[in-house]
Amino acid sequence: MEKTLPYGWYTDPENLRQEQERILLPAWHYVGHTGQLAEPGYFVTEVAHTPVVVTRDRYGALRGFVNVCRHRGHVVASGEGSRETLQCPYHAWTYGLDGRLRKAPRSEEEPDFPQDELGLVPVAVDRWGPFVFASAGPDPEPLAQALGSLPAQVAELGLDVDSLIHHSRWEAEIAANWKIVSENFLECYHCQVAHPAFSELVDTSPEAYVLSTDGHLSTQHGPLRTVTPADELPRAQFHFLWPNLGINIFPGRPNLSIGPIVPLAPDRTYRFLDYFFGPDVEPRWIDDLLAFDDQVGEEDRVLVEGVQRGIASGRLDHGVLMSHSEQLIAHFQSLTAAALGR
Ligand code: FES
Ligand SMILES: [Fe+2]
């Protein structure tokens, strides 16, 4: 039987520091959507401990920068908005949406003020349909390469991501290590036990519920137990893009939710999920799905927080994995261990 990762990896601050540097910094992270970006406009986010501002100029060009002032390090922009410039609140240095330093009060009194060299530091930003991603690492691979077969699998299901409209963002802090939250996402062995409503909707039996991996992508497919003519999507698709991105597509009407699993501390995780729906989906259907998903999310919170408490006791060194039902966890763990050089 395959073992889990050593439990010390879920509680040790030094382990998290290495994960930040070797796993999260080089990765692409979902940060928001094009609906947050007027032309011109911006929104701020954070990837791998790096404050980032994403901008779109009046010609539609998408860019990203380290959101730290080149003067003395104040964070430049906050929130989101529609404007042509970003102004630091400390001494009012003003940057264009292209990152260039436009104006620094009293700079004309400085001999040889190197204005051209004091623009915001760029980070990689790109998008898949309405979904905006950023990477703060040096030389990230192209986003299309990082996404692998994800866009093709979603298209194959019959979902056109460009037609989706953002509905709302759900946010939560969870008292568990980010890997426990990720591993919980990667198996449905617990579904029949812990998610009765979900298992009534989706066939989670081992025969019907299909698990697959493709590079950094892990996918779970589950058919609807009862398909009606109104159901445009007959199957659920739950994707996990290593290291920490979850994407949920429920059966029924056009829908997708996407969001990262972000470590705050060895035993604390931040999650957000942006919900998108097709333009013609009835509000009633949306409300039902959100209520349903909230309930599943709450059931999962109790589970992962229970795991963290058990692991943190320090009484056991590791657990074991079921070879079929937990194969996606084994895949997650081998990618994680390899990235850490262990
Ligand atoms: S720190 Fe930004 S203007 Fe001084
Ligand atoms: Fe669950």
Distance from the CA of 89 to the center of ligand 1, in angstroms? Answer: 7
Percentage helix, strand, coil for the chain under 3-state DSSP, each rounded to 5: 30, 35, 40
**Tokens, residue 322:** 């079921």
Asked whether residue 226 carries a pLDDT value surpassing 90, the answer given is no
pLDDT at 177: 98
pLDDT at 44: 98
Distance in Å, CA 260 to ligand 1 centroid = 31
**pLDDT tens-digit series, residues 294-338:** 999 999 999 999 999 999 999 999 999 999 999 999 999 999 999
From first CA to last CA, the distance across the chain in angstroms is: 20
Predicted confidence (pLDDT) per residue in 269-300, tens digit: 999 999 999 999 999 999 999 999 999 999 99
Residue 245's pLDDT is what?
98
Residue 98 pLDDT > 90: yes
Distance 272 CA to ligand 1 centre (A): 30
Write the CA distances from 126 to 207, 238, 258, 295, integer angstroms.
Answer: 38, 22, 16, 33
Ligand 1 atom nearest to 93, measured from its CA:
3
pTM over 0.85, yes/no: yes
pLDDT, one tens digit per residue, over 216-225 is: 999 999 988 8
pLDDT for residue 277: 98
Report which of residues 257 and 224 the model is more confident about: 257
| Residue 234 scores a pLDDT above 90 | no
Which protein residue has the closest C-alpha to ligand 1 atom 1? Answer: 72
Distance 47 CA to ligand 1 centre (A): 22
pLDDT at 14: 98
- Kindly state the tokens that stand for 265: 């501390």
Nearest CA to ligand 1 atom 4: 91
Kindly tell me if the per-residue pLDDT of 76 is higher than 90.
yes
Task: Assign 119 a pLDDT band (cuts: 50, 70, 90).
Answer: very high
Q: Which of 183, 181, 182 is nearest to 321 (CA)?
A: 183
Closest residue (by CA) to atom 3 of ligand 1?
A: 91
Query: pLDDT over 90 for what percent of the chain?
Result: 96
Q: What is the 3-state secondary structure (H, E, C) of 106-134?
A: CHHHCCCCCHHHCCCCEEEEEEECCEEEE
212-248 burial, b at 16+ Cβ within 10 Å, e below that, comes to ebeebbbbbbbbbeeeeeeebbebbbbbbbbbbbbbb
Place of tokens 């509680």: 11
* Average pLDDT rounded to a whole number, residues 162-180: 98
Number of the ligand 1 atom closest to the C-alpha atom of 72: 1
pLDDT at 229: 81
Share of the chain above pLDDT 70, in %: 100
pLDDT of res. 231? 83
Ligand with the closest atom to the CA of 77: 1
- For the CA of 94, the nearest ligand: 1
Q: Are 255 and 275 a contacting pair, CB within 8 Å? A: yes
- Which ligand 1 atom minimizes the distance to the CA of 69? 2
Q: Which residues line ligand 1 (CB under 6 A)?
A: 69, 71-74, 88, 90-91, 93
Residue 99 has pLDDT above 90, yes or no: yes
* Nearest alpha carbon to residue 173 among 246, 257, 259, 261: 261
Q: Rounded mean pLDDT of the chain? A: 97
Residue 228 has pLDDT above 90, yes or no: no
15 pLDDT band, cuts 50/70/90, is: very high
The Cβ-side half-sphere exposure at 342, using a 13 Å CA radius, reads 14
* Residue 258, pLDDT above cutoff 90: yes
Q: What is the dihedral of CA 146, 149, 155, 160, to 10 degrees?
A: 0
Residue 21, CA distances (Å) to 137, 145, 201, 340 in order: 9, 21, 40, 9
| Segment 78-87 mean pLDDT | 97
Q: What is the pLDDT of residue 115?
A: 98
pLDDT exceeds cutoff 90 at 230: no
Give dist(CA 228, CA 11) in Å, integer.
46
